[in-house]
Amino acid sequence: MGSKGINVGLLQFADDTLFLCEADIQNAWTLEAILRSFELMSGLKVNFFRTKVGGLRLDAPLIKGFSKILNCKHMTIPFVYLGMPIRGNLRRA
C-alpha cells in the first residue's frame, strides 16, 4: 500500500515559518509530526502559544479541528504577516 505523499509550500523569514498545504486531516497530522520531529532533532521548541492555523474557504469547525490536532490557536483572514496584510479575496489576483 503506497503513500499518497504531501505537497507543502514553505515560506521562512527569520524565526517565522509559514506552511501551505491542502486542508485535510492527514496533512494536519503529518504537519504535527514534522513539528514534533523538529523539536526532537534540534532541541528547540516550537512556540505553540504563537502558532496559528487558518484556511481559505474552509468551515470554522474544520479549522478548529486542525488547531486541536496542532495544539494551537485558529486564525481568521485577513491577517498581518511581517507587516503585510494577507487577504483571502482571490478575485484580486
**Can you give the residue ranges of every domain in the chain?**
9-88
Is residue 63 within 8 A of residue 52, CB to CB? The reply is: no
Predicted pLDDT at 4: 65
- Torsions phi, psi for 91 (to 5 deg): -70, -20
pLDDT along the chain (93 residues), means of 10: 61 77 90 93 91 86 92 86 75 54
Predicted pLDDT at 45: 92
Q: Please report, in angstroms and rounded to a whole number, the separation of the first and last CA atoms in the chain.
A: 39
Distance CA 15, CA 83 (A): 15
72: left (phi over 0), alpha (psi -120 to 50) or beta: beta
